[in-house]
Amino acid sequence: MPENKRIKDKMQEWQDKILKKVLDKNPERKDKFTTGSWLEMDRLSIPESFSEEDYIEKLGFPGDYPFTRGVQPTMYRGRFWTMRQYAGFGTAEESNKRYKYLLSQGQTGLSVAFDLPTQIGYDSDDSHSIGEVGKVGVAIDSLADMEVLFEGIPLDQVSTSMTINAPASVLLAFYIAVAEKQGIPKNKLRGTIQNDILKEYFARGTYIFPPQPSLRLITNIFAYCAAEVPNWNTISISGYHIREAGSTAVQEVAFTLADGIEYVKAAIAAGLSVDQFAGQLSFFFNAHNDLLEEIAKFRAARRIWAKIMKDQFAAKNPKSMMLRFHTQTGGSTLTAQQPDNNIVRVTIQTLAAVLGGTQSLHTNSRDEALGLPTEDAVQIALRTQQIVAHESGVVNSIDPLAGSYVIESLTDKIEEEVWNYLHKIEQLGGMVRAIENGYIQKEIQDAAYKYQQEVESGERVVVGVNRFTVKDEPPREILKVDPALRKVQSEKIARIKKQRDQAVVQDLLKKLGQAAKDEKTNLMPHILEAARAYATLGEICNVLREQFGEYQESIVL
Amino acid sequence: MKRKIRILIAKPGLDGHDRGAKYIARALKDAGYEVIYTGIRQSPEAIAQSAIQEDVDFVGLSLLSGAHNELFPEVVQRLRRQGADNIIVFGGGVIPEEDIPQLEKQGVEAIFTPGTPIKDVIQFITTNEIRLTH
Amino acid sequence: MLANEVLEGKIRSIARAISWIENDHEGKEELIDALYPHCGKAIVWGVTGPPGSGKSSLVDHLIYRLREAGKKVAVIAVDPSSPFSGGAILGDRVRMQRHATDEGVFIRSMASRGHLGGVAGGTADAIKVLDAAGFDVILIETIGVGQTEIEVIELADLVLLVLVPGMGDEIQALKAGVMEIGDIFVINKSDRDEADKLKAEVEYVLGFKAMDEHSAKNPVLMTSAKLNVGIDELLDAVETYLQTILHNGRLEEKRRQRVALEIKHILAGKIENELQQFIQNDERMDEWIQNVFNHKRSPYALINENFKKFLEEYKKP
C11 in a structural domain: no
C307/C220 same-domain check:
no
Q: Looking at the complex, does the CB of residue A481 fall below 8 Å from at least one CB of chain B?
A: yes
Beta bridge partners of C172: none
| CB-CB neighbors (< 8 A) of A245 in chain B | 17, 19
Tally of CB atoms within 10 A around A230 = 14
Q: Looking at the complex, does the CB of residue C13 fall below 8 Å from at least one CB of chain A?
A: no
C67/C192 same-domain check:
yes
Domain borders along chain A are: 1-61, 62-396+407-457
Q: What is the distance in angstroms between the Cα of B48 and the nearest Cα belonging to chain C? A: 9
Q: Looking at the complex, does the CB of residue A487 fall below 8 Å from at least one CB of chain B?
A: no
Q: What amino acid is encoded at A338 in this protein?
A: Q
Q: Which residues of chain A have pLDDT under 70?
A: 1-2, 555-557
Cβ within 8 Å, pair B4-C22: yes
How far is it, in rounded angstroms, from Cα B8 to Cα B56? 6
C228/C80 same-domain check:
yes
Q: What is the distance in angstroms between the Cα of B45 and the nearest Cα belonging to chain C? A: 7
Cβ burial, residue C282 (10 Å; 0-12/13-18/19+)? exposed
Residue A212's region, left for phi above 0, alpha for psi from -120 to 50, else beta, is: alpha
**Which of B41, C308, B27 is CA-nearest to residue A557?**
B27
Domain B6-128: which topology?
Rossmann fold (3.40.50)
Q: Which residues of chain B have pLDDT under 70?
A: 1-2, 134
**Which of B59, B74, B75, B65 is CA-nearest to residue B110?**
B59
Contact predicate B82/B45, CB 8 Å: no
Domain borders along chain B are: 6-128
| Closest residue to A555, CB basis, from C60, C94, C226 | C94
Q: How confident is the model at residue C305 (pLDDT cuts 50, 70, 90)?
A: confident
Which residues constitute the domain of residue C307?
Answer: 263-315
Cβ burial, residue A104 (10 Å; 0-12/13-18/19+)? exposed
pLDDT at A293: 98
Q: Looking at the complex, does the CB of residue B26 fall below 8 Å from at least one CB of chain C?
A: yes
3-state SS, residue B19: helix
How far is it, in rounded angstroms, from Cα A467 to Cα A335? 12
* Residue C76 in this model has a pLDDT that exceeds 50: yes
Please enumerate residues of B whose Cβ is less than 8 A from a Cβ of A.
Answer: 13-19, 22-23, 25-27, 37, 39-41, 43, 65-71, 94, 96-98, 113-115, 117-119
State the chains in contact with A (3 or more Cβ–Cβ pairs under 8 Å).
Answer: B, C
The dihedral of CA C227, C229, C232, C236: what is its sign?
Answer: negative
**Maximal C-alpha separation, chain B:** 43
Q: What amino acid is encoded at B117 in this protein?
A: P
Contact predicate C161/C178, CB 8 Å: yes
> Which architecture does CATH list for A62-396+407-457?
Alpha-Beta Barrel (3.20)
How far is it, in rounded angstroms, from Cα B72 to Cα B48? 11
Tally of CB atoms within 10 A around C252 = 11
Segment C130-148 mean pLDDT: 86
Cβ within 8 Å, pair A552-C52: no
3-state SS, residue C125: helix
Q: Looking at the complex, does the CB of residue A470 fall below 8 Å from at least one CB of chain C?
A: no
Q: Looking at the complex, does the CB of residue B85 fall below 8 Å from at least one CB of chain C?
A: no
C66 in a structural domain: yes
Q: What is the distance in angstroms between the Cα of C95 and the nearest Cα belonging to chain A? A: 7
CA distances from A322 to A280, A350, C244 (A): 10, 22, 65
Give the helix/strand (H/E) hosting A527. Answer: helix A524-532
pLDDT at C176: 59
Segment C92-121 mean pLDDT: 90
3-state SS, residue C286: helix
Mean pLDDT of chain C: 87
Measure CA of the first residue to CA of the last residue in chain A; give whole Å.
Answer: 48
Indicate the pairing of strand A159-163 with strand A190-193.
parallel
C12 in a structural domain: no
Q: Looking at the complex, does the CB of residue A318 fall below 8 Å from at least one CB of chain C?
A: no
Write down which residue in C248, C277, C293 finishes a domain.
Answer: C248
Q: What is the distance in angstroms between the Cα of A513 and the nearest Cα belonging to chain C? A: 19
Write down which residue in C248, C278, C295 finishes a domain.
Answer: C248
3-state SS, residue B64: coil
Indicate the pairing of strand B88-93 with strand B6-10.
unpaired
Count how many Cα atoms sit within 13 Å of the Cα of residue A190 in the half-sphere of its side chain: 9
Cβ within 8 Å, pair C95-A555: yes
Tell me phi and psi for residue A112, to 5 degrees: -100, 130
Number of domains composing chain C: 2
| Closest residue to C89, CB basis, from A549, A552, A557 | A557
User: Per 3-state DSSP, what percentage of chain C is helix, strand, and coil (rounded to 5)?
Assistant: 50, 15, 35
How far is it, in rounded angstroms, from Cα A308 to Cα A303? 9
Kindly provide the ipTM of the predicted complex, given to two decimals. 0.95
Q: What's the CA dihedral at B95, B99, B101, B103 to 10 degrees? A: -70
Cβ within 8 Å, pair B36-C24: no
Q: Looking at the complex, does the CB of residue C18 fall below 8 Å from at least one CB of chain B?
A: yes
Q: Looking at the complex, does the CB of residue C51 fall below 8 Å from at least one CB of chain A?
A: no
pLDDT at A1: 47
| CB-CB neighbors (< 8 A) of C22 in chain B | 1, 4
Please provide the DSSP assignment of A408-440 as one string: HHHHHHHHHHHHHHHHHHHHTTSHHHHHHHTHH
| CB-CB neighbors (< 8 A) of B117 in chain A | 456, 466
Task: Walk across the sheet containing C158-163 and list its strands.
Answer: C105-111, C73-79, C137-143, C43-49, C158-163, C184-187, C220-222
Cβ within 8 Å, pair A553-C94: yes
C77 in a structural domain: yes
Q: What is the distance in angstroms between the Cα of C88 and the nearest Cα belonging to chain B? A: 5
Q: What is the distance in angstroms between the Cα of A210 and the nearest Cα belonging to chain B? A: 16
Q: What is the distance in angstroms between the Cα of B17 and the nearest Cα belonging to chain A? A: 6
Count how many Cα atoms sit within 13 Å of the Cα of residue A59 in the half-sphere of its side chain: 17
Cβ within 8 Å, pair B46-C82: no
Q: Which residue of C has its CA nearest to B36?
A: C90
How far is it, in rounded angstroms, from Cα A385 to Cα A346? 9
Q: What amino acid is encoded at A57 in this protein?
A: E
| CB-CB neighbors (< 8 A) of B6 in chain C | 19
CA angle A410, A411, A416 (to 5 degrees): 95
